[in-house]
Structure 1
Amino acid sequence: MIHAVRLATSSDLDAAALVLAAAFDTYPWTRWAIPADGYAERLEEVQRLYLNHALNHGIVVVDEQIRAVAAFLPPDAPAPNEHTQQRVGALHGPRLAALIGLSLPQVPAGSWTLETVGVNPSLQGAGLGTAVVAAGLAIIDRQGGAVALETSDARNVCLYQRLGFTTAATTTVPEGPIVYSMNRATQSQ
Protein backbone atom coordinates (compact mmCIF):
# COMPACT_ATOMS: atom_id res chain seq x y z
CA MET A 1 0.00 0.00 0.00
CA ILE A 2 1.25 3.48 -0.86
CA HIS A 3 0.79 6.08 1.86
CA ALA A 4 0.56 9.78 1.03
CA VAL A 5 3.09 11.71 3.10
CA ARG A 6 4.06 15.37 3.32
CA LEU A 7 6.16 17.80 5.28
CA ALA A 8 4.48 18.78 8.53
CA THR A 9 3.43 22.33 9.34
CA SER A 10 3.01 24.04 12.69
CA SER A 11 -0.73 23.31 12.54
CA ASP A 12 0.13 19.57 12.64
CA LEU A 13 2.14 19.85 15.86
CA ASP A 14 -0.55 18.91 18.40
CA ALA A 15 -1.86 15.95 16.40
CA ALA A 16 1.68 14.70 15.69
CA ALA A 17 2.62 14.97 19.39
CA LEU A 18 -0.44 12.89 20.29
CA VAL A 19 0.58 10.22 17.77
CA LEU A 20 4.08 10.08 19.23
CA ALA A 21 2.80 9.98 22.81
CA ALA A 22 0.55 7.03 21.95
CA ALA A 23 3.31 5.27 20.01
CA PHE A 24 5.83 5.71 22.83
CA ASP A 25 3.48 4.83 25.69
CA THR A 26 5.16 1.47 26.33
CA TYR A 27 8.52 2.22 24.70
CA PRO A 28 11.44 1.08 26.90
CA TRP A 29 13.39 4.37 26.68
CA THR A 30 10.53 6.68 27.59
CA ARG A 31 9.37 4.35 30.38
CA TRP A 32 12.89 4.59 31.82
CA ALA A 33 13.49 8.30 31.15
CA ILE A 34 10.14 9.81 32.17
CA PRO A 35 8.75 9.47 35.70
CA ALA A 36 5.63 7.35 36.16
CA ASP A 37 3.85 10.20 37.97
CA GLY A 38 1.96 12.02 35.21
CA TYR A 39 3.73 9.89 32.60
CA ALA A 40 1.20 10.35 29.77
CA GLU A 41 1.06 14.13 30.13
CA ARG A 42 4.84 14.44 30.50
CA LEU A 43 5.41 12.24 27.45
CA GLU A 44 3.03 14.24 25.28
CA GLU A 45 4.59 17.54 26.28
CA VAL A 46 8.14 16.27 25.73
CA GLN A 47 7.12 15.06 22.27
CA ARG A 48 5.51 18.42 21.45
CA LEU A 49 8.61 20.35 22.57
CA TYR A 50 11.00 18.20 20.55
CA LEU A 51 8.73 18.19 17.49
CA ASN A 52 8.50 21.97 17.59
CA HIS A 53 12.31 22.15 17.65
CA ALA A 54 12.55 19.73 14.70
CA LEU A 55 9.90 21.67 12.80
CA ASN A 56 11.94 24.86 13.22
CA HIS A 57 15.37 23.38 12.47
CA GLY A 58 14.95 20.13 10.55
CA ILE A 59 12.47 17.95 8.72
CA VAL A 60 9.20 16.58 10.08
CA VAL A 61 7.22 14.22 7.85
CA VAL A 62 3.64 13.09 8.48
CA ASP A 63 1.12 11.07 6.55
CA GLU A 64 -1.92 12.96 5.25
CA GLN A 65 -4.14 11.95 8.18
CA ILE A 66 -1.37 12.44 10.76
CA ARG A 67 -1.28 8.86 11.92
CA ALA A 68 2.51 8.65 11.57
CA VAL A 69 5.33 11.13 12.10
CA ALA A 70 9.12 11.17 11.69
CA ALA A 71 11.46 13.99 12.70
CA PHE A 72 15.04 14.54 11.52
CA LEU A 73 17.62 17.13 12.56
CA PRO A 74 20.62 18.21 10.46
CA PRO A 75 24.13 18.06 11.87
CA ASP A 76 24.22 21.85 12.33
CA ALA A 77 20.91 22.12 14.20
CA PRO A 78 21.19 24.27 17.31
CA ALA A 79 20.38 22.88 20.73
CA PRO A 80 16.84 23.63 21.90
CA ASN A 81 16.51 27.10 23.42
CA GLU A 82 17.03 27.57 27.15
CA HIS A 83 13.31 27.66 27.95
CA THR A 84 12.74 24.37 26.10
CA GLN A 85 15.73 22.75 27.80
CA GLN A 86 14.49 23.83 31.22
CA ARG A 87 10.99 22.53 30.52
CA VAL A 88 12.29 19.21 29.21
CA GLY A 89 14.46 18.92 32.33
CA ALA A 90 11.45 19.57 34.54
CA LEU A 91 9.41 16.95 32.67
CA HIS A 92 12.15 14.36 33.24
CA GLY A 93 12.15 15.34 36.91
CA PRO A 94 14.14 12.93 39.07
CA ARG A 95 15.26 10.97 35.97
CA LEU A 96 17.20 13.98 34.64
CA ALA A 97 20.39 13.13 36.57
CA ALA A 98 20.45 9.62 35.08
CA LEU A 99 19.92 11.03 31.59
CA ILE A 100 22.70 13.60 31.99
CA GLY A 101 25.08 10.94 33.30
CA LEU A 102 24.38 8.53 30.46
CA SER A 103 27.14 7.85 27.93
CA LEU A 104 26.01 6.73 24.49
CA PRO A 105 28.18 6.53 21.34
CA GLN A 106 28.70 9.79 19.45
CA VAL A 107 26.81 10.29 16.22
CA PRO A 108 29.25 10.21 13.29
CA ALA A 109 30.41 13.71 12.37
CA GLY A 110 28.24 15.43 9.79
CA SER A 111 25.29 13.06 10.23
CA TRP A 112 21.66 13.99 10.37
CA THR A 113 19.75 12.31 13.20
CA LEU A 114 16.42 10.55 13.00
CA GLU A 115 15.15 11.96 16.26
CA THR A 116 11.84 10.14 16.44
CA VAL A 117 9.33 8.14 14.48
CA GLY A 118 5.97 6.91 15.68
CA VAL A 119 2.76 5.46 14.33
CA ASN A 120 -0.68 5.37 15.89
CA PRO A 121 -0.59 2.01 17.74
CA SER A 122 -3.73 0.71 16.01
CA LEU A 123 -2.01 1.15 12.62
CA GLN A 124 1.46 -0.14 13.39
CA GLY A 125 2.70 -2.71 10.89
CA ALA A 126 0.82 -1.15 7.96
CA GLY A 127 3.87 0.57 6.46
CA LEU A 128 3.18 4.08 7.74
CA GLY A 129 6.41 4.27 9.74
CA THR A 130 8.43 3.12 6.75
CA ALA A 131 6.65 5.69 4.55
CA VAL A 132 7.41 8.72 6.74
CA VAL A 133 11.00 7.65 7.43
CA ALA A 134 11.66 6.87 3.75
CA ALA A 135 10.28 10.28 2.73
CA GLY A 136 12.61 12.04 5.16
CA LEU A 137 15.56 9.94 4.05
CA ALA A 138 14.83 10.80 0.41
CA ILE A 139 15.07 14.51 1.23
CA ILE A 140 18.34 13.97 3.09
CA ASP A 141 19.69 11.78 0.27
CA ARG A 142 19.17 14.63 -2.22
CA GLN A 143 21.40 16.74 0.04
CA GLY A 144 23.99 13.99 0.37
CA GLY A 145 23.78 13.33 4.10
CA ALA A 146 24.42 10.36 6.35
CA VAL A 147 21.85 9.61 9.08
CA ALA A 148 22.16 8.19 12.61
CA LEU A 149 19.56 7.06 15.13
CA GLU A 150 19.06 5.34 18.44
CA THR A 151 16.32 2.89 19.28
CA SER A 152 15.47 0.99 22.44
CA ASP A 153 13.19 -1.57 20.86
CA ALA A 154 14.84 -4.56 19.22
CA ARG A 155 11.84 -4.87 16.87
CA ASN A 156 12.76 -1.50 15.32
CA VAL A 157 16.22 -2.70 14.34
CA CYS A 158 14.82 -4.76 11.43
CA LEU A 159 12.77 -1.81 10.16
CA TYR A 160 15.83 0.42 10.13
CA GLN A 161 17.99 -2.27 8.52
CA ARG A 162 15.48 -2.46 5.65
CA LEU A 163 16.03 1.29 5.20
CA GLY A 164 19.82 0.92 4.96
CA PHE A 165 20.92 1.38 8.59
CA THR A 166 23.49 -0.81 10.29
CA THR A 167 23.98 -1.27 14.02
CA ALA A 168 27.13 0.55 15.15
CA ALA A 169 26.84 -0.14 18.89
CA THR A 170 24.62 -1.66 21.52
CA THR A 171 24.59 -0.05 24.95
CA THR A 172 22.96 -1.48 28.07
CA VAL A 173 21.74 1.44 30.19
CA PRO A 174 22.17 0.74 33.92
CA GLU A 175 18.73 -0.16 35.30
CA GLY A 176 17.31 0.81 31.91
CA PRO A 177 16.84 -0.34 28.35
CA ILE A 178 19.27 -1.54 25.71
CA VAL A 179 20.02 1.20 23.17
CA TYR A 180 20.89 0.31 19.58
CA SER A 181 22.93 3.04 17.87
CA MET A 182 22.52 2.77 14.10
CA ASN A 183 24.01 4.60 11.12
CA ARG A 184 23.13 4.95 7.45
CA ALA A 185 25.87 6.07 5.08
CA THR A 186 25.34 8.86 2.60
CA GLN A 187 23.33 7.51 -0.32
CA SER A 188 24.33 8.52 -3.83
CA GLN A 189 21.61 9.94 -6.05
Structure 2
Amino acid sequence: MSSAREATPADLDGCVDALAEAFADYPFTRHTIAADDHVRRLRACHELLIREVGLPHGRVHVIDGPDGIDAVAVWTPSTPAVEEALTRAAARLAELAGDRAAMATAAESVLAEYRPPTPLWFLAPVGVRPGRQGRGLGRAVLAPGLAAADAGRMPAFLETSDPVNVGIYRRMGFSVLTEIDLPHDGPRTWAMVRPAR
Protein backbone atom coordinates (compact mmCIF):
# COMPACT_ATOMS: atom_id res chain seq x y z
CA MET A 1 0.00 0.00 0.00
CA SER A 2 1.26 3.47 -0.85
CA SER A 3 2.07 5.88 1.93
CA ALA A 4 0.59 9.34 2.25
CA ARG A 5 2.34 12.38 0.89
CA GLU A 6 1.71 16.10 1.22
CA ALA A 7 -0.47 17.48 -1.57
CA THR A 8 0.52 20.36 -3.84
CA PRO A 9 -1.69 22.77 -5.79
CA ALA A 10 -1.24 20.48 -8.81
CA ASP A 11 -3.17 17.79 -6.89
CA LEU A 12 -6.29 19.93 -6.49
CA ASP A 13 -8.35 18.29 -9.25
CA GLY A 14 -7.38 14.79 -8.10
CA CYS A 15 -8.34 15.63 -4.51
CA VAL A 16 -11.72 16.96 -5.63
CA ASP A 17 -12.35 13.87 -7.76
CA ALA A 18 -11.64 11.53 -4.83
CA LEU A 19 -13.70 13.51 -2.32
CA ALA A 20 -16.65 13.92 -4.70
CA GLU A 21 -16.82 10.14 -5.05
CA ALA A 22 -16.37 9.55 -1.33
CA PHE A 23 -19.06 12.07 -0.34
CA ALA A 24 -21.59 11.39 -3.10
CA ASP A 25 -24.14 9.99 -0.64
CA TYR A 26 -22.80 11.29 2.67
CA PRO A 27 -25.67 12.26 5.02
CA PHE A 28 -24.26 15.64 6.07
CA THR A 29 -23.55 16.95 2.57
CA ARG A 30 -26.85 15.58 1.25
CA HIS A 31 -28.55 17.60 4.03
CA THR A 32 -26.57 20.83 3.58
CA ILE A 33 -26.03 21.03 -0.22
CA ALA A 34 -28.92 21.33 -2.67
CA ALA A 35 -30.03 18.18 -4.49
CA ASP A 36 -30.26 20.17 -7.71
CA ASP A 37 -26.92 19.66 -9.50
CA HIS A 38 -25.63 18.15 -6.26
CA VAL A 39 -22.41 16.64 -7.59
CA ARG A 40 -21.25 19.89 -9.21
CA ARG A 41 -22.05 21.81 -6.01
CA LEU A 42 -20.27 19.22 -3.86
CA ARG A 43 -17.18 19.33 -6.08
CA ALA A 44 -17.12 23.13 -5.97
CA CYS A 45 -17.36 23.14 -2.16
CA HIS A 46 -14.44 20.74 -1.83
CA GLU A 47 -12.40 22.66 -4.38
CA LEU A 48 -12.99 25.96 -2.59
CA LEU A 49 -12.12 24.59 0.85
CA ILE A 50 -8.94 22.85 -0.31
CA ARG A 51 -7.73 25.74 -2.49
CA GLU A 52 -8.55 28.58 -0.09
CA VAL A 53 -8.16 26.94 3.32
CA GLY A 54 -6.49 23.52 3.33
CA LEU A 55 -3.52 24.08 1.03
CA PRO A 56 -2.51 27.60 2.15
CA HIS A 57 -3.31 27.35 5.86
CA GLY A 58 -3.44 23.67 6.84
CA ARG A 59 -2.21 20.30 5.68
CA VAL A 60 -3.56 18.19 2.84
CA HIS A 61 -2.35 14.61 2.55
CA VAL A 62 -3.07 12.22 -0.29
CA ILE A 63 -2.46 8.62 -1.28
CA ASP A 64 -1.90 7.96 -4.97
CA GLY A 65 -3.58 5.04 -6.70
CA PRO A 66 -3.43 3.47 -10.14
CA ASP A 67 -5.97 5.91 -11.60
CA GLY A 68 -5.26 9.08 -9.64
CA ILE A 69 -5.61 10.05 -6.00
CA ASP A 70 -7.36 7.38 -3.92
CA ALA A 71 -7.49 9.05 -0.49
CA VAL A 72 -7.44 12.61 0.83
CA ALA A 73 -7.26 14.12 4.32
CA VAL A 74 -7.58 17.86 4.89
CA TRP A 75 -6.49 19.23 8.26
CA THR A 76 -6.86 22.83 9.43
CA PRO A 77 -5.47 24.33 12.63
CA SER A 78 -7.62 26.57 14.79
CA THR A 79 -5.87 29.82 13.84
CA PRO A 80 -7.02 33.32 12.91
CA ALA A 81 -5.79 32.77 9.33
CA VAL A 82 -8.10 29.77 8.94
CA GLU A 83 -11.03 31.66 10.44
CA GLU A 84 -10.42 34.55 8.04
CA ALA A 85 -10.21 32.19 5.06
CA LEU A 86 -13.47 30.49 6.06
CA THR A 87 -15.15 33.87 6.48
CA ARG A 88 -14.05 34.88 2.98
CA ALA A 89 -15.41 31.59 1.60
CA ALA A 90 -18.74 31.76 3.47
CA ALA A 91 -20.76 33.64 0.83
CA ARG A 92 -19.67 31.28 -1.96
CA LEU A 93 -20.36 28.22 0.21
CA ALA A 94 -23.87 29.55 0.96
CA GLU A 95 -24.43 30.06 -2.77
CA LEU A 96 -23.31 26.49 -3.47
CA ALA A 97 -25.63 25.16 -0.74
CA GLY A 98 -28.53 26.56 -2.78
CA ASP A 99 -31.95 25.93 -1.25
CA ARG A 100 -30.24 24.20 1.69
CA ALA A 101 -28.25 27.25 2.77
CA ALA A 102 -30.45 27.80 5.84
CA MET A 103 -29.98 24.16 6.85
CA ALA A 104 -26.22 24.46 6.39
CA THR A 105 -26.13 27.61 8.53
CA ALA A 106 -28.23 25.99 11.25
CA ALA A 107 -26.05 22.86 11.27
CA GLU A 108 -22.87 24.94 11.50
CA SER A 109 -24.31 27.03 14.33
CA VAL A 110 -25.23 23.94 16.38
CA LEU A 111 -21.94 22.14 15.75
CA ALA A 112 -19.86 25.23 16.58
CA GLU A 113 -21.19 25.13 20.15
CA TYR A 114 -19.44 21.80 20.77
CA ARG A 115 -16.05 22.53 19.22
CA PRO A 116 -13.34 22.81 21.86
CA PRO A 117 -12.07 26.39 22.36
CA THR A 118 -8.49 25.20 22.83
CA PRO A 119 -6.00 25.08 19.92
CA LEU A 120 -6.49 21.93 17.87
CA TRP A 121 -6.24 20.34 14.44
CA PHE A 122 -9.62 19.97 12.74
CA LEU A 123 -10.13 17.09 10.30
CA ALA A 124 -12.48 18.06 7.49
CA PRO A 125 -12.81 16.36 5.17
CA VAL A 126 -11.26 12.93 4.76
CA GLY A 127 -12.34 10.51 2.07
CA VAL A 128 -11.37 7.36 0.21
CA ARG A 129 -12.73 6.48 -3.22
CA PRO A 130 -15.52 3.90 -2.74
CA GLY A 131 -13.79 1.29 -4.89
CA ARG A 132 -10.64 1.55 -2.77
CA GLN A 133 -12.21 1.45 0.70
CA GLY A 134 -11.46 -1.35 3.15
CA ARG A 135 -7.73 -1.44 2.36
CA GLY A 136 -6.41 0.70 5.18
CA LEU A 137 -6.10 3.84 3.05
CA GLY A 138 -8.15 5.95 5.45
CA ARG A 139 -5.90 5.14 8.38
CA ALA A 140 -2.80 5.68 6.24
CA VAL A 141 -3.87 9.07 4.90
CA LEU A 142 -4.72 10.24 8.44
CA ALA A 143 -1.40 9.13 9.95
CA PRO A 144 0.72 12.20 9.01
CA GLY A 145 -1.89 14.63 10.35
CA LEU A 146 -2.22 12.75 13.62
CA ALA A 147 1.58 12.64 13.93
CA ALA A 148 1.75 16.41 13.37
CA ALA A 149 -0.92 17.00 16.01
CA ASP A 150 1.02 14.83 18.45
CA ALA A 151 4.29 16.60 17.66
CA GLY A 152 2.62 19.94 18.37
CA ARG A 153 0.92 18.52 21.49
CA MET A 154 -2.47 19.49 20.12
CA PRO A 155 -5.69 17.47 20.11
CA ALA A 156 -7.30 16.35 16.87
CA PHE A 157 -11.02 16.98 16.35
CA LEU A 158 -13.58 15.82 13.80
CA GLU A 159 -17.28 15.59 13.09
CA THR A 160 -18.91 12.68 11.29
CA SER A 161 -22.46 11.93 10.23
CA ASP A 162 -21.78 8.28 9.42
CA PRO A 163 -22.22 5.89 12.37
CA VAL A 164 -19.79 3.42 10.79
CA ASN A 165 -17.06 6.04 11.03
CA VAL A 166 -17.51 6.37 14.79
CA GLY A 167 -16.07 2.91 15.42
CA ILE A 168 -13.24 3.48 12.94
CA TYR A 169 -12.21 6.72 14.63
CA ARG A 170 -12.51 5.18 18.09
CA ARG A 171 -9.93 2.58 17.04
CA MET A 172 -7.64 5.47 16.10
CA GLY A 173 -7.84 7.01 19.56
CA PHE A 174 -10.79 9.38 19.17
CA SER A 175 -13.61 9.49 21.70
CA VAL A 176 -17.11 10.90 21.31
CA LEU A 177 -17.43 14.38 22.75
CA THR A 178 -21.11 14.73 21.88
CA GLU A 179 -23.82 13.24 19.67
CA ILE A 180 -26.26 15.64 18.03
CA ASP A 181 -29.35 15.38 15.83
CA LEU A 182 -28.94 18.34 13.49
CA PRO A 183 -31.85 20.76 13.02
CA HIS A 184 -34.36 20.54 10.14
CA ASP A 185 -34.41 16.74 10.35
CA GLY A 186 -30.67 16.63 9.73
CA PRO A 187 -28.53 13.56 10.29
CA ARG A 188 -27.19 12.47 13.64
CA THR A 189 -23.64 13.79 13.92
CA TRP A 190 -20.84 12.85 16.28
CA ALA A 191 -18.16 15.27 17.43
CA MET A 192 -14.99 13.39 18.37
CA VAL A 193 -11.67 14.37 19.88
CA ARG A 194 -8.30 12.65 20.19
CA PRO A 195 -5.84 13.99 22.78
CA ALA A 196 -2.24 14.52 21.74
CA ARG A 197 -0.06 11.52 22.44
TM-score above 0.5, yes or no: yes
Which region of structure 1 is more displaced relative to structure 2, 81-90 or 124-133?
81-90
Query: 2:77 aligned to 69, 74, 77, which one?
Result: 74
Give the Cα–Cα distance (whole angstroms) in 2 for the partners of residues 82 and 164 of structure 1.
Answer: 31
Q: Is the 8 A contact 1:134 1:163 kept in 2?
A: no
Query: 1:106 aligned to 93, 111, 114, which one?
Result: 114
- Report how far residue 95 of structure 1 moved: 1.1
Give the Cα–Cα distance (whole angstroms) in 1 for the partners of residues 39 and 27 of structure 2.
Answer: 14
Q: Which residue is 2:58 aligned to? A: 58
Q: Which runs of 5+ in 1 are unaligned?
A: none
Give the Cα–Cα distance (whole angstroms) in 2 for the partners of residues 82 and 169 of structure 1.
Answer: 25
Give the Cα–Cα distance (whole angstroms) in 1 for the partners of residues 2 and 144 of structure 2.
Answer: 10
Query: 1:180 aligned to 174, 177, 190, which one?
Result: 190
Q: Is the 8 A contact 1:151 1:179 kept in 2?
A: yes
- Report how far residue 81 of structure 1 moved: 5.7
RMSD: 1.4
Q: Aligned partner of 1:63: which letter?
A: I
- Report how far residue 186 of structure 1 moved: 1.5
Give CA deviations for 1:58-77 in whole Å, capped at 9, x if unaligned. Answer: 01100133210001101112
Q: Is the 8 A contact 1:20 1:118 kept in 2?
A: yes
Pick the structure with more helix per residue.
2
SS in structure 2 at match of 1:69: strand
Give the Cα–Cα distance (whole angstroms) in 2 for the partners of residues 116 and 87 of structure 1.
Answer: 18
Give the Cα–Cα distance (whole angstroms) in 2 for the partners of residues 37 and 8 of structure 1.
Answer: 31
Instruction: Kindly indicate whether residue 143 of structure 2 is the aligned counterpart of residue 138 of structure 1.
Output: no
Give the Cα–Cα distance (whole angstroms) in 2 for the partners of residues 17 and 115 of structure 1.
Answer: 13
Which residues of 2 match residues 148-167 of structure 1 at below 5 A? 148-167=157-176
Q: How many residues align?
A: 186
Q: Which residue is 1:34 aligned to? A: 33
- Report how far residue 24 of structure 1 moved: 0.3
SS in structure 2 at match of 1:149: strand
Tell me the TM-score normalised to structure 2 length: 0.90
Give the Cα–Cα distance (whole angstroms) in 2 for the partners of residues 151 and 143 of structure 1.
Answer: 24
Q: Aligned partner of 1:155: which letter?
A: V
- Report how far residue 83 of structure 1 moved: 5.2
Q: Aligned partner of 1:61: which letter?
A: H
SS in structure 2 at match of 1:126: coil
